[in-house]
């Protein structure tokens, strides 16, 4: 199944590293984000469609559920420690859902249509599916509640105070590669040790998906090493899908510097692809869920003319700070996030 990235423009979840600018807003100088770097590794043309052309992608119910749960887990820590209990989290779920429904009705409509499509096909001679005899939304919201139950089984949020939630990490490597992204949560222990925590609303991944998740976490660890001069003590992935599971990893400075060379190579390849306009498609398992097959040459489609990317060439200075990126939704490329607007490449 596909990984799940943020759904741009949905309220309630913090900013994310994948989104582009809102309509009419001046585009910022691009920077490398973990999601877009992973896209380029997977398929350079997919990267172009998302980072340069910014082709629209329909939100999915998995992505919206991820956004919903991420927002609740962020807001949970606004409560006094003693009140961070399952009942309050589920009450927050209703609050966040009401905000999404009021502020992004088009996203909700698209997701409801997806849910209805899964329920039944159109009845003969009619516009309304024969199986649309009930509302699938309550069951879908219950599935989000189940993810919250799993969260509380994995950790007790009453026992600690995170230092940061939805933390922007933005820096530039000594080689000039700009990095930008948002991490779900940063914890600091009594000795000053850093722990990066990322929530995933899917099940624990197979090997390929786990590698992508660790790529994301090493990206954040390298950015914090640059910003704070210390290697995080632990990278922690919290999987809230069926069964629930935690994966932890302890990075080392030498490993992160080797990872830095990977990011530098990706950024150099992106700049070269921009220079030539040659973002080549790469067929793979992800094609099954790709929203852009109709315009992909690997599937007999014709992509739009390359628009060029003057922002990428405009300056050699550090990536500029700007508006947040777009909310936490894990449905289209990396299980559950959606976040505000920025130009993460």
Q: Which pLDDT tens digit goes with each residue over 174-221?
A: 999 999 999 999 999 989 999 999 999 988 766 666 788 899 999 999
Average pLDDT over residues 19-47: 76
In a domain, 279, yes or no: yes
Q: Which range, of 32-41, 231-240, 328-337, averages the lowest pLDDT? A: 328-337
Decide which of 22 and 283 is more confident.
283
- pLDDT at position 287 over 80: yes
Q: Which range, of 2-11, 71-80, 215-224, 276-285, averages the lowest pLDDT? A: 2-11
Specify the pTM. 0.81
**Token pair for residue 41?**
């590794």
In a domain, 20, yes or no: no
In a domain, 6, yes or no: no
- Looking at residue 201, which CATH number applies to its domain? 3.90.320.10
In a domain, 23, yes or no: no
pLDDT at 11: 53
CA distances from 145 to 33, 66, 75, 149 (A): 30, 11, 15, 6
In a domain, 198, yes or no: yes
Provide the pLDDT confidence category of residue 344 given band limits of 50, 70 and 90. low
- pLDDT at position 329 over 50: no
Counting the structural domains of the chain, the total is 1
Domain that holds residue 142: 34-119+135-314
Decide which of 163 and 10 is more confident.
163
In a domain, 237, yes or no: yes
Whole-angstrom Cα distance, residue 224 to residue 254?
A: 14
In a domain, 15, yes or no: no
In a domain, 16, yes or no: no
20 in Cβ contact with 345 (< 8 Å):
no
pLDDT at 212: 81
pLDDT at 30: 86
Backbone angles phi, psi at 245, to 5 degrees: -165, 150
């Amino acid at each position: 199944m596909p990984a799940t990235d943020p759904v741009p423009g949905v309220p309630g979840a913090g900013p994310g590293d994948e989104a582009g600018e809102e309509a009419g807003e001046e585009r910022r100088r691009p920077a490398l984000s973990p999601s877009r770097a992973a896209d380029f590794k997977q398929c350079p043309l997919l990267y172009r469609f998302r980072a340069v052309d910014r082709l629209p992608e329909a939100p999915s119910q998995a992505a919206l559920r991820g956004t919903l749960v991420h927002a609740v887990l962020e807001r949970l820590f606004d409560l006094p420690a003693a009140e961070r209990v399952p009942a309050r989290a589920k009450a927050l779920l209703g609050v966040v859902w009401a905000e999404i429904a009021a502020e992004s009705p088009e996203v909700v409509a698209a997701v409801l249509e997806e849910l209805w499509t899964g329920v039944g096909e159109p009845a003969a001679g009619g516009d309304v599916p024969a199986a649309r005899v009930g509302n699938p939304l309550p069951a879908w919201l219950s599935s989000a509640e189940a993810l919250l139950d799993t969260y509380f089984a994995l950790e007790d949020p009453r026992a600690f105070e995170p230092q940061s939630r939805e933390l922007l990490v933005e820096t530039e490597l000594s080689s000039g590669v700009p990095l930008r992204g948002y991490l779900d949560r940063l914890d600091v222990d009594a000795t000053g040790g850093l722990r990066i925590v990322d929530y995933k609303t899917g099940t624990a991944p197979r090997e390929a998906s786990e590698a992508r998740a660790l790529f994301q976490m090493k990206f954040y660890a390298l950015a914090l090493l640059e910003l704070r001069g210390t290697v995080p003590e632990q990278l922690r992935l919290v999987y809230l899908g069926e069964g629930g599971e935690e994966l932890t990893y302890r990075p080392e400075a030498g490993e992160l510097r080797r990872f830095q060379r990977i990011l530098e190579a990706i950024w150099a390849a992106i700049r070269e692809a921009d220079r030539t306009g040659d973002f080549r498609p790469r067929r793979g398992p992800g094609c099954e869920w790709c929203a852009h097959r109709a315009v992909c040459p690997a599937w007999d489609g014709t992509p739009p003319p390359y628009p060029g990317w003057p922002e990428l060439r405009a300056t050699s200075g550090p990536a500029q700070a700007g508006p947040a990126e777009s909310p936490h939704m894990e449905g289209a490329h990396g299980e559950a996030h959606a976040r505000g607007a920025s130009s993460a490449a």
